[in-house]
């Protein structure tokens, strides 16, 4: 939530900041702003409600000069999205400007104390409180900005990634991090700051990830300095990131979401590359090999995740229970962390996250580590907080996902989970060799099968036209496909704002069947061989009540074809992997319904891609 970016060097800061904000807009897009110190030392803040395009418009004719600046794109937590609550915030004297991603939990107490000292506040934000606290301390202690920031942060409880500028000083930015992502990009005598390294990859591929409780002091013509909250120098490593700019562009597609849907055959190739041998069909996951004993000894596996990653985890539960015979629990990270969970040292906790920054998932990891569990990460963003805080893990390698509705991350996560289940099952001796080979061989053909499904794009687009005006949708699936039903419903909700419910097909008759009528489209994911007959019964129950069925079926399934009103046929694979291709028509259906409804597909209302607040 919220994206922050900063620059100091020889170039004009504003265009770099604006470009960075565009790349970070997936993190929030209700208001945006920049602060720059110009050559005369003036500290200019320009901000407005709306998207980064609106900010660009607003900046026309303003003094956008200066080679140092900070910028912010907001997802509101405290205070409505408007011009005043937008960042950067000035301190009362307008000598300091601050941007902030996160939440200051004790801001009320601090605000009251500052009001007592005579401070006035313009906004409703917790961020302005921190800005004024820094100013207050700077004046009281008569100290440097960096020291004032350090002392202020010692009084703060909460999560933050901040960057601070001061009037009259175009040679310094002070930045700090606690639980919200932040990295420093290193150029030739220039520094970049960002919530996400990908947003500044045009300028550098050398990054330093700032750790929790660290303050980065960026001074012109000086090396990067990082200290901790106790004022001790902190050591840091420079990480090289291999990312191409084309991965961050739409590449001719009207939306990132559509591009990302169509990228999936390629992203799966990247996900599987080097992990499943085309010659021997052996699955090699280094994270499992390196931690063989942990997985062999595991008495239980607990998945912790949120949103789409939670849906992928439900499929992971089936895969691991089926193939590794280890009991599995799937937890919403936000529930797990507050439930006083029972965790043993022989539990393996698997944290699943596209961004690797989701606050609740990160907190769940910390709880699991404290309890002595082995924590494994399944992440997409390389170098993200979750990737760094887990003991080991597997990247899904699907490249940057920019559309707010997750697509290629889901298929990458499920694919990694299938490989994980095969690798662990093999080590534990719980998997039959024929089953192992069948799944491994199907993994190798997954990308081409997915391409076949994507060829039905225009049929699905036509189908979507029929349902553009539906008010509700129901999605049903059994076994592995229950999670696909949930994911299909979530996609539709997120981007079209149509209410949709995903259910285990058999549960429908325990209540939701009351909703069935001609107005309610029911999407049935009916690809499972194991539950084929049962699913047919469910379809008949719906038909008997006048419901309209869109069925996702295996190619050649004539039985369901006769019953359903519309069918989308997808190629046959083993049941374990069907979710990876069964979700594709649902992604496309949601996409086209949203497009026909005129929705902002890549930036749906109220959402943000990376949820770094609780």
Q: Which is nearer to ligand G6P, 31 or 406 (CB)?
A: 406
* The pair of three-digit structure tokens given for residue 22, joined into one six-digit string: 């565009």
Q: Does 355 bind ligand G6P (CB under 6 A)?
A: yes
Q: Which is nearer to ligand G6P, 306 or 423 (CB)?
A: 306
- Minimum CB separation from ligand G6P for residue 270, in Å? 18
Which of 19, 259, 493, 609 is labelled catalytic? Answer: 609
Q: Does 611 bind ligand G6P (CB under 6 A)?
A: yes
- Round to whole Å and give the CA distance between 575 and 484: 12
Q: Does 91 bind ligand G6P (CB under 6 A)?
A: no
267 membership: H or E segment, kind and range: helix 256-272
Q: Does 199 bind ligand G6P (CB under 6 A)?
A: no
- Of 404-443, binders to ligand G6P (CB under 6 A) are 404, 406
- Minimum CB separation from ligand G6P for residue 334, in Å? 10
- Minimum CB separation from ligand G6P for residue 40, in Å? 42
**Buried (b) or exposed (e) across 237-261, using 16+ Cβ within 10 A?**
eeeebeeeeeebeeeeeebbbbbbb
| Whether 609 is catalytic | yes
Q: Which is nearer to ligand G6P, 85 or 384 (CB)?
A: 384
Q: Which of 132, 170, 354, 390 binds ligand G6P (CB under 6 A)?
A: 354
- Of 24-63, binders to ligand G6P (CB under 6 A) are none
* The pair of three-digit structure tokens given for residue 86, joined into one six-digit string: 């937008």
Question: Phi-psi region for residue 433, left (φ > 0), alpha (ψ -120 to 50) or beta?
Answer: alpha
Instruction: Build a one-symbol-per-residue string for 391-410: x at contacts with ligand G6P by CB under 6 A, - elsewhere.
Output: -------------x-x----
- Round to whole Å and give the CA distance between 177 and 376: 24
- Of 356-375, binders to ligand G6P (CB under 6 A) are 358, 361
Q: What values do phi and psi take at 434, rounded to 5?
A: -65, -40
Q: Which 8-state DSSP code applies to residue 233?
A: B
- Residues that contact ligand G6P, how many (by CB under 6 A): 15
Contact by Cβ (8 Å): 382, 414: no
Q: Which is nearer to ligand G6P, 418 or 570 (CB)?
A: 418
Closest CA to 295 of 361, 392, 217, 390: 392
- Minimum CB separation from ligand G6P for residue 350, in Å? 13
Q: Which of 9, 66, 88, 307 binds ligand G6P (CB under 6 A)?
A: 307
Q: Which of 22, 259, 478, 609 binds ligand G6P (CB under 6 A)?
A: 609
Q: Which is nearer to ligand G6P, 178 or 406 (CB)?
A: 406
Q: CA-CA distances (angstroms) from residue 581 to 389, 431, 441? A: 31, 23, 15
Contact by Cβ (8 Å): 519, 470: yes
- Minimum CB separation from ligand G6P for residue 309, in Å? 4
List residues bridging with 101 in a β-sheet.
161
- Minimum CB separation from ligand G6P for residue 353, in Å? 3
Q: Which of 186, 373, 607, 613 binds ligand G6P (CB under 6 A)?
A: 607
Strand-by-strand arrangement of the 214-219 sheet: 89-90, 96-104, 158-166, 172-178, 214-219, 225-228
- Minimum CB separation from ligand G6P for residue 332, in Å? 10
Q: Which of 91, 132, 180, 308 binds ligand G6P (CB under 6 A)?
A: 308
Kindly indicate which of the ranges 348-356, 427-435, 446-454, 564-572 contains the residues binding ligand G6P, using the contact rule CB under 6 A: 348-356
In whole angstroms, how large is the CA radius of gyration of the chain?
A: 25
Q: Does 176 bind ligand G6P (CB under 6 A)?
A: no
Q: Which is nearer to ligand G6P, 45 or 416 (CB)?
A: 416
Closest CA to 413 of 330, 341, 493, 324: 330
Strand-by-strand arrangement of the 374-379 sheet: 328-332, 300-305, 347-353, 374-379, 392-395
What is the Cα 112 distance to its own chain's centre? 35
228 membership: H or E segment, kind and range: strand 225-228
Kindly indicate which of the ranges 227-235, 295-303, 355-363, 417-425 contains the residues binding ligand G6P, using the contact rule CB under 6 A: 355-363
Q: Which is nearer to ligand G6P, 72 or 609 (CB)?
A: 609
- Minimum CB separation from ligand G6P for residue 557, in Å? 31
| Whether 259 is catalytic | no
CA atoms within 13 A on the CB side of 201: 18
Kindly indicate which of the ranges 179-187, 352-360, 446-454, 517-525 contains the residues binding ligand G6P, using the contact rule CB under 6 A: 352-360
Beta pairing class for 172-178 and 158-166: antiparallel
- Minimum CB separation from ligand G6P for residue 378, in Å? 9
Secondary structure class of 97 (helix, strand, coil):
strand
Which of 2, 183, 271, 379 is labelled catalytic? Answer: 2
Q: Which of 85, 313, 353, 481 binds ligand G6P (CB under 6 A)?
A: 353
* The pair of three-digit structure tokens given for residue 135, joined into one six-digit string: 């100013």
Q: Which residue is nearest to ligand G6P (CB)?
A: 307
- Round to whole Å and give the CA distance between 353 and 390: 12
**Interacting residues with ligand G6P (CB under 6 A):** 306-309, 353-355, 358, 361, 404, 406, 607, 609-611
Enumerate the active-site residues: 2, 609
């Amino acid at each position: 939530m919220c994206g922050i970016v900063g620059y100091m060097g020889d170039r004009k800061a504003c265009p770099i900041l604006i470009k960075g904000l565009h790349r970070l807009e997936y993190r929030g897009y209700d208001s945006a702003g920049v602060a720059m110190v110009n050559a005369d030392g003036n500290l200019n803040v320009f901000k407005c409600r709306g998207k980064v395009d609106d900010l660009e418009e607003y900046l026309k004719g303003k003094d956008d000069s200066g080679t140092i600046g900070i910028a912010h794109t907001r997802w509101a937590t405290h205070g409505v999205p408007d011009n005043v609550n937008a960042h950067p915030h000035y301190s009362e004297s307008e000598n300091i400007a601050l941007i902030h991603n996160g939440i200051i939990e004790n801001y009320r107490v601090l605000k009251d104390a500052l009001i007592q000292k005579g401070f006035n506040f313009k906004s409703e934000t917790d961020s302005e409180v921190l800005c004024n606290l820094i100013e207050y301390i700077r004046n009281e202690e008569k100290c440097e900005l960096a020291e004032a920031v350090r002392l202020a942060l010692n009084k703060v409880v909460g999560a933050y990634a901040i960057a601070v500028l001061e009037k009259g000083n175009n040679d310094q930015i002070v930045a700090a991090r606690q639980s919200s992502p932040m990295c420093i990009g290193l150029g030739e005598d220039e520094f970049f700051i960002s919530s996400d390294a990908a947003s500044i990859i045009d300028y550098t591929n050398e990054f330093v990830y700032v750790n929790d409780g660290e303050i980065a002091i960026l001074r012109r013509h000086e090396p990067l300095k990082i200290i901790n909250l106790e004022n001790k120098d902190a050591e840091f490593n420079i990480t090289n990131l291999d990312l191409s700019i084309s991965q961050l562009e739409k590449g001719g597609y009207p939306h990132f979401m559509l591009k990302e849907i169509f990228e999936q055959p390629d992203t799966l190739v990247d996900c599987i590359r080097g992990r499943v041998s085309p010659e021997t069909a052996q699955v090699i996951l280094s994270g499992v090999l390196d931690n063989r004993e942990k997985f062999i000894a595991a008495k239980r596996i607990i998945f912790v995740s949120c949103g789409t990653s939670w849906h992928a985890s439900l499929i992971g539960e089936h895969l691991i229970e089926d193939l590794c015979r280890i009991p599995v629990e799937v937890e919403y990270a936000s529930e797990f962390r507050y439930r006083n969970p029972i965790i043993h040292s022989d539990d393996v906790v698997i944290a699943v996250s596209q961004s690797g920054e989701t606050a609740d998932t990160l907190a769940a990891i910390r709880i699991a580590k404290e309890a002595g569990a082995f924590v494994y990460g399944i992440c997409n963003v390389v170098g993200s907080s979750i990737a760094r805080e887990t003991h080991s893990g597997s990247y899904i390698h699907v490249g940057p996902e920019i559309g707010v509705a997750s697509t290629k991350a889901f298929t990458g996560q499920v694919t990694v989970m299938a490989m994980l289940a095969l690798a662990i099952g093999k080590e534990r001796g719980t998997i039959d060799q024929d089953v192992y080979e069948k799944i491994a061989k199907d993994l190798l053909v997954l990308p081409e099968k997915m391409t076949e499904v994507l060829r039905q794009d225009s049929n699905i687009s036509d189908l979507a036209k029929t349902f553009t005006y539906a008010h509700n949708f129901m999605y049903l699936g059994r076994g592995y496909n229950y999670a696909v039903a949930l994911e299909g419903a979530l996609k539709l909700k997120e981007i079209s704002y149509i209410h949709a419910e995903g259910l285990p097909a058999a549960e429908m008759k325990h209540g939701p069947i009351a909703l069935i009528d001609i107005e309610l489209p029911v999407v049935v994911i009916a690809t499972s061989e194991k539950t084929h007959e049962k699913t047919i019964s469910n379809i008949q129950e719906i038909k008997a009540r006048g419901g309209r069925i869109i069925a996702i079926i295996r190619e050649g399934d004539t039985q369901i074809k006769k019953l359903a009103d519309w069918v989308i046929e997808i190629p046959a694979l083993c049941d374990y992997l069907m979710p990876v291709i069964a979700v594709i028509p649902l992604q496309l259906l949601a996409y086209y319904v949203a497009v026909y409804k005129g929705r902002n597909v890549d930036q749906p209302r109220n959402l943000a891609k990376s949820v770094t607040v609780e």
